[in-house]
Chain A
């Protein structure tokens, strides 16, 4: 299985995502999360249902990073989202 399997934000999470930063709020826990521009872009792509490959490609295009680095960073980001209970894996 791909490390960054498609995920979706759970219903209790509200997002505000801009070009330079992002903000997540989970109304079950009251936790707020600040996202840097990379995470904000990844979150915005996840929020519209894009899969890992598409998100990683967008990171490569936007931030001029190696595909391997983008893949690793995105996988780590998704893991953090899962650990915090902000997303659930599809299927």
Chain B
């Protein structure tokens, strides 16, 4: 028998990752002989760059093109390339594939999907009726088919509500104005109808299922331990919960479901469970189920191939933590993917041999502590700094310092030699300075690389004590750091830097003036992090309330600048000379504005900007400048981060390992000028790691764990 080729969709693995990457990795584990064809709608889909996952690529139409266009493309693909099984994983295309089951069968492509009627039954707007038939409680659900209906509903509802797109996306809203603004925003992304449900307080659980003719064959139950602001689980643990399994079984039976399904539940404090959503596909956390003994995607493939399967139930007590991994290439390998071909070997053709700097021949590269381990939907840089340092030959020993036992980077195997828990760095809680120095001493580190905005001023203030304790740091003084905080950034204009017009916002009442001053479209920012573009005064009010809820007033309003976006990462030595600056053109952005992919560009103007910044301010250590190049006004500096950016691994891949340069400078070594290789391309993708719950327990109780994750 020849190779088995499996087509998988849904490979955009960013801050709300599609399930495809997780599906592929567990298929790989189940049978390494299976071959994977990535079916992607464009050339910037992050998991399509995962060399270890994908054997070949083919472009398929966006779901909005409809089933006919998809059918035509699938016929063409099958004419060119073997395709034995197809697993769609995107909500927006599931109905298309259900419609095309007959065609696919005739083409020799197996699927394991329900028919159109079953596929339609668990849709969000039909969930209450389904719940009634299955005897499963569902939150009261209001369906709004038009903008007018949403506008009229806003004042009649009890808040908070969860406002949802018909297929994907949701936002929690707290007031009628918030509701109306968010409804416009969601509808502009996903169209109507919109739905809303009252926010039910409780603990959230997901149940992943594979079923055959309504009988559950495989099941995994996961409790969410950490979620993003979109409600996406970023950490969770498998549990043994017969009540939820029974509820899922009833739903599957009523639907006479075939294939994969995810049911999402809330359990209230009094024990009542509500099913608030059903997704007709695998969830993005499905790799956890396989790690816990229930490889549901492999089960689905075997069912599709007509192979008998054994029932499987995921074991309780396995933890998943969502982190990120990066793939680097000499150039964007999918830029040449032909929209009429199926192509193999594109990733290999652009493979990059990542340079491994040496330490000058010393027996040891020392022991370095790194902070900022939470590699979540907006990842802190610590994990990427550590991966850059791991490239050094020999690698320094690495100690991760985290404030949070759920910092997902603490659960990555093979990066750290040790992870230690510190108190939170807020002064109110106290204990941070002493604990930091104590942990550095106990871990025998000789250098510290802080990467969190909130702690960098504290570390700068502590620098003399750290140095006295034998821990080198490379940071500017507290005054220099203070001069680049968001509220003070506009003052850099006095030194000749080109900045956007901006002003402080002391309260909601000032927003009308802000709009008059900066134009209707502007950027609202929190004082430390978070930023959103707003387009109307109502939207500005809703966003300002959300930001102020986290950060308080004043917020910062900044002129919206149109243009190409760049990040410049650099390190300055103790003489304020930049030893290396790497410029990335941001090419893959999320809706939240975070960068998940880009290319190195050699741009003398932007590199010179980094040098001028360090010299003018008297900067020492790592920093990132965020720049937008306006077509007429040129490069405008929109933000300064006093640390490495989250994409810093790209610098190492491009031959200018800035984290290693920072460590050497901190230790008082000389570092020659570093230059990054132009066009080096990277993508970041969400990646779940798993661990026993014992690791979290040890971090909580003992305050430290080893680097090896079982």
Contacts of A32 in B (CB 8 A): 225, 693, 696
Determine if A14 is an interface residue (Cβ-Cβ < 8 Å). yes
Give bound CA distance, A41 to B222, whole Å. Answer: 30
Q: Which of B27-35, B45-53, B642-650, B698-706 contacts A (4 or more CB under 8 A)?
A: B698-706
Residues of B156-207 contacting chain A, CB below 8 A = 203, 205
Give bound CA distance, A32 to B241, whole Å. Answer: 15
Considering only CB atoms, which chain A residue lies closest to B204 in the complex? A30
Contacts of A20 in B (CB 8 A): 701
Contacts of A23 in B (CB 8 A): 696-697, 700-701
Determine if B140 is an interface residue (Cβ-Cβ < 8 Å). no
Checking B236, B240, B693 against A25 with a beta-carbon cut-off of 8 angstroms, the contacting residue is B693
Residues of B651-687 contacting chain A, CB below 8 A = none
Q: Is the beta-carbon distance between A16 and B241 smaller than 8 angstroms? A: no
Considering only CB atoms, which chain A residue lies closest to B316 in the complex? A27
Give bound CA distance, A21 to B702, whole Å. Answer: 8
Q: Nearest chain B CB to A18's CB is how many angstroms away?
A: 4
Contacts of A90 in B (CB 8 A): none
Residues of B199-221 contacting chain A, CB below 8 A = 203, 205
Q: Is the beta-carbon distance between A12 and B240 smaller than 8 angstroms? A: yes
Determine if B438 is an interface residue (Cβ-Cβ < 8 Å). no
Residues of A1-48 contacting chain B, CB below 8 A = 12, 14, 16-18, 20-23, 25, 27-32, 34, 40
Contacts of B510 in A (CB 8 A): none
Checking B205, B239, B241, B693 against A14 with a beta-carbon cut-off of 8 angstroms, the contacting residue is B693
Residues of B3-34 contacting chain A, CB below 8 A = none
Q: Is the beta-carbon distance between B223 and A29 smaller than 8 angstroms? A: yes
Q: Is the beta-carbon distance between B701 and A27 smaller than 8 angstroms? A: no
Q: Nearest chain B CB to A66's CB is how many angstroms away?
A: 28
Determine if B694 is an interface residue (Cβ-Cβ < 8 Å). yes
Give bound CA distance, A34 to B700, whole Å. Answer: 8
Q: Is the beta-carbon distance between A28 and B240 smaller than 8 angstroms? A: yes
Considering only CB atoms, which chain A residue lies closest to B693 in the complex? A25
Question: Main SS of the interface on chain B?
Answer: mixed
Give bound CA distance, A15 to B667, whole Å. Answer: 42
Known contacts A12-B240, A30-B237; A18 and B701 CB within 8 A of each other: yes
Checking A17, A18, A21, A27 against B239 with a beta-carbon cut-off of 8 angstroms, the contacting residue is A27
Q: Interface residue count for A (Cβ, 8 Å)?
A: 18
Contacts of B702 in A (CB 8 A): 16, 18
**Complex interface bits, A65-76 against B, C-beta within 8 A gives 1, otherwise 0:** 000000000000
Q: Nearest chain A CB to B205's CB is how many angstroms away?
A: 7
Known contacts A25-B693, A27-B240; A16 and B701 CB within 8 A of each other: yes
Checking B239, B694, B701 against A29 with a beta-carbon cut-off of 8 angstroms, the contacting residue is B239
Q: Nearest chain A CB to B242's CB is how many angstroms away?
A: 9
Determine if B139 is an interface residue (Cβ-Cβ < 8 Å). no
Give bound CA distance, A29 to B241, whole Å. Answer: 7
Contacts of A34 in B (CB 8 A): 700
Contacts of A40 in B (CB 8 A): 701
Contacts of A22 in B (CB 8 A): 701
Give bound CA distance, A32 to B693, whole Å. Answer: 10
Q: Nearest chain B CB to A5's CB is how many angstroms away?
A: 24
Q: Nearest chain B CB to A72's CB is how many angstroms away?
A: 25
Q: Is the beta-carbon distance between A27 and B696 smaller than 8 angstroms? A: no
Contacts of B236 in A (CB 8 A): 30
Q: Nearest chain B CB to A44's CB is how many angstroms away?
A: 11
Contacts of B696 in A (CB 8 A): 23, 25, 32
Q: Nearest chain A CB to B291's CB is how many angstroms away?
A: 15
Contacts of B697 in A (CB 8 A): 14, 16, 23, 25
Q: Is the beta-carbon distance between B701 and A28 smaller than 8 angstroms? A: no
Q: Is the beta-carbon distance between B239 and A16 smaller than 8 angstroms? A: no
Q: Nearest chain A CB to B693's CB is how many angstroms away?
A: 5
Give bound CA distance, A20 to B704, whole Å. Answer: 13
Contacts of A25 in B (CB 8 A): 237, 317, 693, 696-697
Q: Is the beta-carbon distance between A27 and B317 smaller than 8 angstroms? A: yes
Contacts of B239 in A (CB 8 A): 27-30
Considering only CB atoms, which chain B residue lies closest to A40 in the complex? B701
Considering only CB atoms, which chain A residue lies closest to B242 in the complex? A28
Give bound CA distance, A22 to B316, whole Å. Answer: 20
Q: Nearest chain A CB to B236's CB is how many angstroms away?
A: 8
Give bound CA distance, A32 to B222, whole Å. Answer: 14
Q: Nearest chain A CB to B163's CB is how many angstroms away?
A: 27
Q: Nearest chain B CB to A75's CB is how many angstroms away?
A: 23
Give bound CA distance, A34 to B696, whole Å. Answer: 11
Contacts of A28 in B (CB 8 A): 239-241, 316
Contacts of B205 in A (CB 8 A): 30
Contacts of B240 in A (CB 8 A): 12, 27-28
Residues of A39-61 contacting chain B, CB below 8 A = 40
Give bound CA distance, A22 to B697, whole Å. Answer: 8
Give bound CA distance, A27 to B693, whole Å. Answer: 10
Residues of B223-247 contacting chain A, CB below 8 A = 223, 225, 236-241
Q: Is the beta-carbon distance between B223 and A30 smaller than 8 angstroms? A: yes
Considering only CB atoms, which chain B residue lies closest to A29 in the complex? B239
Contacts of A31 in B (CB 8 A): 203, 223
Give bound CA distance, A27 to B237, whole Å. Answer: 8
Contacts of A14 in B (CB 8 A): 317, 693-694, 697
Known contacts A30-B205, A30-B237, A32-B225; A16 and B698 CB within 8 A of each other: yes
Give bound CA distance, A18 to B705, whole Å. Answer: 14
Q: Nearest chain A CB to B513's CB is how many angstroms away?
A: 46
Selected A-B contacts with CB under 8 Å, 21 pairs = A12-B240, A14-B317, A16-B700, A16-B701, A18-B701, A18-B702, A20-B701, A21-B700, A22-B701, A23-B696, A23-B700, A25-B693, A25-B697, A28-B239, A28-B240, A28-B241, A30-B203, A30-B205, A30-B316, A31-B203, A34-B700
Known: A27-B316, A30-B241. 5 other contacts (CB 8 A): A14-B693, A25-B237, A25-B697, A29-B223, A31-B223
Chain A interfacial positions (CB closer than 8 Å to B): 12, 14, 16-18, 20-23, 25, 27-32, 34, 40
Nearest 3 CB-CB pairings of A with B: A30-B223, A27-B316, A16-B697
